[in-house]
Amino acid sequence: QKEVEQNSGPLSVPEGAIASLNCTYSDRGSQSFFWYRQYSGKSPELIMSIYSNGDKEDGRFTAQLNKASQYVSLLIRDSQPSDSATYLCAVNRDDKIIFGKGTRLHILP
Amino acid sequence: DAGITQSPRHKVTETGTPVTLRCHQTENHRYMYWYRQDPGHGLRLIHYSYGVKDTDKGEVSDGYSVSRSKTEDFLLTLESATSSQTSVYFCAIKGLAETTDTQYFGPGTRLTVL
């Protein structure tokens, strides 16, 4: 089992709708969880971090964490064409941050 | 902008030649990382450093070495480049946001080994 798993997509969502991205992780000792966005040809940029069970909201983005189920999700409300990118889930283990392979999101105009 | 630069940004080299990539940070962060990113594999950790002269291996360290003689510089060396090392290489630092866990990435180096 991979340490961090994501559906590779592409996930196609109509503009204005909610995009839902999911991630599971294998190490129950993980304490920190992150979502990065990466545009083609660019470096990853952090959009959300979450450390405790529940929801965390930042503008149009909501991260959800369920440690019992080892599950992290990212919701993007009112999706915009500029949200089209690859979204990387990452988990902190010891001093290292382990990434999933990413989910490609395509917002349909 | 987390003050991270990488050099060179692009490099084409031949199999068997040595290659050194440089990561430079301006904000005195303790932790620095080297990743490679390949289609179908995502970001994979090569090596990381937790201080000057303190380094450790990641999941894909074979064929790579690193050095950190100053806080601000973290060097990645391919002693004898192979075509399988063609990739995009990202440096990252673990910086200050809500906590010290958060990583910020440099712009990347695209390496092609012919």
Burial grade of B54 (CB within 10 A; 0-12, 13-18, 19 or more): exposed
A103 in Cβ contact with A8 (< 8 Å): yes
Torsional sign, CA A37, A43, A46, A47:
negative
Choose the closest CB to A95 out of B42, B43, B48: B48
For chain B, give the mean pLDDT.
91
User: Tens digits of per-residue pLDDT, A4-27?
Assistant: 999 888 999 999 999 999 999 998
pLDDT of residue B96: 54
A57 CB-near residues (< 8 Å, 6+ apart):
none
How far, in Å, CA of B110 to CA of A90, rounded? 22
Q: Which residue has the higher pLDDT, B13 or B100?
A: B13
pLDDT of residue B28: 85
Which residues of chain B neighbour A92 with C-beta distances below 8 Å? Answer: 101
pLDDT of residue B99: 53
How far, in Å, CA of A44 to CA of A30, rounded? 21
pLDDT of residue A4: 94
Percent of chain A with pLDDT strictly greater than 90: 82
Token pair 């090392």 is found at B85
Best CA proximity match to B95, nearest among B35, B32, B48 = B32
| Record: contact A49-B50, CB cut-off 8 A | no
Which residues of chain B neighbour A102 with C-beta distances below 8 Å? Answer: 42
Choose the closest CB to B43 out of A45, A88, A95: A88
User: Tens digits of per-residue pLDDT, A36-86?
Assistant: 999 999 999 999 999 999 999 999 999 999 999 999 999 999 999 999 999
| Record: contact A101-B90, CB cut-off 8 A | no
| Record: contact A49-B103, CB cut-off 8 A | no
pLDDT of residue B95: 66
How far, in Å, CA of B67 to CA of B50, rounded? 11
User: Tens digits of per-residue pLDDT, A78-100?
Assistant: 999 999 999 999 998 777 889 99
User: Tens digits of per-residue pLDDT, B39-94?
Assistant: 888 899 999 999 999 999 998 999 999 999 999 999 999 999 999 999 999 999 98
| Record: contact B102-A34, CB cut-off 8 A | yes
Choose the closest CB to B105 out of A44, A96, A102: A44
Beta bridge partners of A108: A14
Cα→Cα distances A43→A21, B2, B17, B59, B73, Å: 20, 12, 26, 20, 19
